[in-house]
């Protein structure tokens, strides 16, 4: 029997990670934040003085990425780097290195290794299209750019970080454009992914929708 996978892809700050982590917890599945791997690679390159444009050098770092997820927290070479990888600067770096085919190839098998019984919930940009094309359920989770900027702003403020709403909105537009325009694994809704527009939804409502779709997909024997 194949191991269940739920993929949740979509643009920045749509709520993918929050929804994916909750669905995973409710089902007792593992959770993979694939964006964190790209963010960790960007941070690793910055710390190693490797340019985000140097495809081969960044791919070499990605292949031997000393990353670890422990109790929902992220470590690079044993150091807790959760706050650092969530900055907009590293988000931009992640988006830049994610456009490099050799870097994506370097992270592919590592992502697939997270598929373990009883199941996996994962979020990113290409989890349904490239990494787990045979997923049990594929969701494309989105929300309007203004709503997403507002969500990111409130998320940063609630953590005590400084945040500038117009700047966040600008970054979101920039990152959307870059993620959608790249030639490898561009951000887009695949024909077999279900669309979940959460612009007017709470997290709970979004989680309920995913769970209902998952029950439906499992019952139909996928
Ligand atoms: O949280 P947010 O959606 O802003 O970003 P993220 O999911 O942490 O991903 C950071 C960057 O990594 C994105 O802008 C994408 O360019 C890239 N990424 C990707 O290309 N493929 C994935 N599966 C996940 C992230
Ligand atoms: O992973 P991604 O970048 O797509 O977004 P996130 O970091 O999971 O979510 C951004 C913020 O939006 C979090 O603070 C969520 O609590 C909030 N939010 C949400 O995820 N879904 C809603 N329907 C409403 C708010």
What integer pLDDT is reported at residue 220 of this predicted model?
Answer: 84
Q: Which of 151, 172, 187, 197 to mutate to test the pocket of ligand 2 (most atoms within 8 A of CB)?
A: 151
192-205 pLDDT, tens per residue? 999 999 999 999 99
DSSP-assigned beta bridge partners for residue 74: 69
Within a domain: residue 218?
no
Within a domain: residue 53?
yes
Q: How far is the CA of 124 from the centre of ligand 1 (A)?
A: 6
Q: Ligand 2 atom closest to Cα of 206?
A: 23
Within a domain: residue 148?
yes
Please state the domain count of the chain: 1
Which of 96, 75, 73, 55 has its CA nearest to residue 179?
A: 96
Within a domain: residue 215?
no
Q: What span, in angstroms and rounded, lies between the C-alpha atoms of 99 and 186?
A: 9
Mean pLDDT of 39-61: 97
Within a domain: residue 213?
no
Q: Ligand 2 atom closest to Cα of 141?
A: 4
115-167 pLDDT, tens per residue? 999 999 999 999 999 999 999 999 999 999 999 999 999 998 998 888 899 99
Q: How far is the CA of 93 from the centre of ligand 2 (A)?
A: 21
My answer on whether omega of the bond before 118 falls inside 30° of 0, hence cis, is yes
Within a domain: residue 219?
no
Within a domain: residue 22?
yes
Q: Is the pLDDT of residue 1 over 70?
A: no
User: For 144-161, b where at least 16 C-beta lie within 10 A, e where not — what string?
Assistant: ebebbbbbbbebbeeeee
Q: How far is the CA of 13 from the centre of ligand 2 (A)?
A: 6
Within a domain: residue 221?
no
Which residue range forms the structural domain that includes residue 8? 4-208
What integer pLDDT is reported at residue 222 of this predicted model?
Answer: 66
Q: Ligand 2 atom closest to Cα of 12?
A: 3
78-126 pLDDT, tens per residue? 999 998 998 889 988 998 999 999 999 999 999 999 999 999 999 999 9
Q: State the ipTM, two decimals.
A: 0.96
State the CATH number of the domain containing residue 190. Answer: 3.40.50.300
């Amino acid at each position: 029997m194949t191991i269940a996978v739920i993929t949740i892809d979509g643009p920045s700050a749509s709520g993918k990670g929050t929804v994916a982590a909750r669905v995973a917890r409710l089902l007792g599945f593992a959770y993979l934040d694939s964006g964190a791997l790209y963010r960790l690679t960007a941070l690793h390159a910055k710390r190693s003085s490797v340019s985000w444009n140097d495809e081969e050098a960044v791919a070499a770092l990605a292949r031997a990425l000393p990353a670890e997820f422990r109790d929902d927290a992220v470590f690079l070479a044993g150091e807790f780097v959760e706050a650092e990888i969530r900055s907009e600067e590293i988000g931009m770096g992640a988006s830049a290195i994610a456009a490099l085919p050799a870097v994506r190839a370097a992270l592919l098998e590592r992502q697939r290794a997270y598929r373990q019984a009883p199941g996996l919930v994962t979020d990113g940009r290409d989890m349904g299209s490239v990494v787990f094309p045979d997923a049990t359920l594929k969701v494309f989770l989105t929300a309007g750019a203004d709503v997403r900027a507002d969500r990111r702003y409130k998320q940063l403020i609630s953590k005590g970080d400084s945040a500038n709403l117009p700047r966040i909105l600008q970054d979101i537009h920039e990152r959307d454009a870059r993620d959608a325009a790249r030639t490898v694994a561009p951000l887009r809704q695949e024909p077999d992914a279900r669309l979940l527009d959460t612009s007017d939804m709470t997290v709970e409502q979004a989680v309920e929708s995913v769970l209902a779709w998952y029950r439906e997909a499992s019952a139909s024997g996928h």
